[in-house]
Amino acid sequence: MISRRGLFTAAAGVGATAVLASCGRLSGEQTAAAPAPAAGPIFFGVSAPLSGASAEYGKIWRTGFDLALDEINGAGGVKGRKIELLWEDTQSDQKQSVPVAQKFAGDSRILAELGDFASPASMAASPVYEKAHLVQFGFTNSHPDFTKGGEYMWSTSTTQQDHAPELADLAKSLGTKQAVYYINTDWGKTTWKLYEEHAKKSGYEIVHSEAVQADGSDFRPSLINGRDKGADVLVFIAYYQAAALLTQQAKNVGLAQAKIALPSSAYSPQYVALGGEATEGAQLIVRFHPGDPRPQVREFVDKYQKRYGKQPDDFGAGAYDALKILAWAVEHSDGTREGVRKALLEGKEIPSLLYGPFSFREDRRVTTPKSTRLVVKGGAFTLVGA
């Protein structure tokens, strides 16, 4: 029988050998990924919530992606090759988005990545993509720090910096005493901070502000607070579900007369569908709306409507646009991961559904054109003043 000590010494020895043998993989540097195959389909990884609480956004993404894929591949693909997506479910949870990033990074067929949905899930995975020199296209990641994660982090999402002041201006135009409710997520909090900054500078009067739970169901006690402070305009910094609930419950606590102002993330036909009559008269600022007369938008909306039987929302349009932009970048690259980044960096007049021809700023974001104001009228979104 071998002694215990002997065993452990042997174990340590073999362990040390293994450590030495794998020295290259221990240092932070990524060994260059195998070159991408030059034929066969081109792959993009999608890191998305397909199950869990955010699953519905993953589903909306799929509508936009599928539509774009059909268009691109129907027209012969990119560089004569079809584009395919590799989906991975992360539940938008950083515990899962990091290994998924590792998986994509190690898959040499993948030229770029789309997602994740929530900024925290994306940001946790950023170091992996950065090391693998793989573009992480976080097209819904509005966190100001997301694209600061590295050279390979790109986004077409509006940042809260642009958006929050516009929202405050919208609210100001609707009333004098603002009550602001923001969902208690990183996004909600950041938007609120920027909102408050702008409102203070501009001398707007905020009579009440409160963080509410993103997945909450009963907001009445919070809304009563705003009512008792005499608010005449309510701002809901939230996604459409919470925004719809807040809107309905505002009526219940006797805030029927107060005007409602919403950010573009609440923009979805679902907002009206969920909120019902209470949403009548609510105003939003959006970067995309299906009523936009630009021919490109008309064509997209028609196709979307025909295929899915409903109007696209911000997330559907964003997904469609993101995939098309990446396809454009591949087309204008040498077919490598690095090439995709270069194309995005150097591209002028990149075609886009949301922004028209644009180029990325130095911080790898897009300068958002002035947003459009919409109002809910007769159960539909219409341009203010139309």
Partner 1 sequence: MLDTALAGLVNGSSYALLALGLSLIFGVANVINFAHASVFAVGAMSGWWFSVDLGWPLWTVLLGVMAVTGLLGLVINLVAVTPLAKAPPIAALLSTFAVSVVVDNGAQLVFGPETRRFPALLATDNLGLGGLRFGTLDVTILAVAIGLMLVLGWFLRATRYGRAIRAVAQDRDAAAQMGIPLARVQNLAFVVASVLGGVAGVLGGMYLNNISPTVGSTVGMSAFAAATLGGLGSLPGAVAGGLLLGVVEAFGVSWWGGNARTLITFAVLLLVLWVRPSGLFGKRSPLAAEPMTGTFFGAARTVRLRPWQVAVAAVAAYVVPAVALDDYTVQIGVQVVVYAILALSLTLVSGQAGQISLGQAAPLAIGAYTSALLTTGTGLDFWLSLPISGLVAAVLSVALVSPSWRLRGHYVSIATLATGLLVAAAAVNFDWLTNGPSGVSAIPPPTLFGAPVSAPLAVYFLDLTILLVVLLLVVRLRRSTLGRIWSAIREDEVAARSSGIAAAEYKSLAFGIGGFVAGIGGALFAQQYGYIDPSVFGISVSLLALTIVVLGGLNSPLGAVVGAIVLVGLPEALRMLEETRMLTYGLLLLAVVLFRPQGLMGKVAR
Q: Which of residues 22-81 bind partner 1 (CB under 8 A)?
A: 22, 25-29, 50-53, 55-56, 58-59
Judged by beta carbon, residue 61 or residue 358, the one nearer partner 1 is 61
Nearest CA among 314, 193, 312 for reference residue 265: 314
CB of 247 to partner 1, least distance (A): 10
Judged by beta carbon, residue 52 or residue 76, the one nearer partner 1 is 52
CB of 169 to partner 1, least distance (A): 25
Cβ neighbors of 91 (< 8 A, separation 6 or more) are 49, 50, 51, 52, 53, 54, 55
Q: Which of 173, 176, 202, 252 binds partner 1 (CB under 8 A)?
A: 252
Nearest CA among 28, 57, 67, 71 for reference residue 115: 57
Extended beta strands in 93-189, E state: 110-115, 135-137, 153-154, 177-183
Q: Which of 167, 244, 297, 326 binds partner 1 (CB under 8 A)?
A: 244
Token look-up 């911000």 returns 314
Site for partner 1 in 124-153 (CB under 8 A): 124, 127, 145
d(CA 45, CA 372): 32
Judged by beta carbon, residue 71 or residue 87, the one nearer partner 1 is 87
Q: Which of 207, 224, 383, 384 binds partner 1 (CB under 8 A)?
A: 224
Secondary-structure breakdown of the chain: helix, strand, coil percentages, each rounded to the nearest 5: 45, 15, 35
Nearest CA among 340, 346, 335, 325 for reference residue 133: 340
Cβ neighbors of 108 (< 8 A, separation 6 or more) are 33, 34, 35, 36, 37
Binding to partner 1 by CB under 8 A, coded x per residue (else -) over 161-200, reads --------------------x--xxx-xxx----------
Q: Which of 42, 47, 68, 88 binds partner 1 (CB under 8 A)?
A: 88
φ and ψ at residue 232, rounded to 5 degrees? -120, -5
CB of 167 to partner 1, least distance (A): 19
Asked whether position 356 contacts partner 1 by CB under 8 A, the answer is: no
The neighbour count for residue 370, using CB atoms within 10 Å, is 9
CB of 375 to partner 1, least distance (A): 20
Site for partner 1 in 313-352 (CB under 8 A): none
CB of 115 to partner 1, least distance (A): 14
Token look-up 């199950």 returns 51
Asked whether position 248 contacts partner 1 by CB under 8 A, the answer is: yes
CB of 118 to partner 1, least distance (A): 9
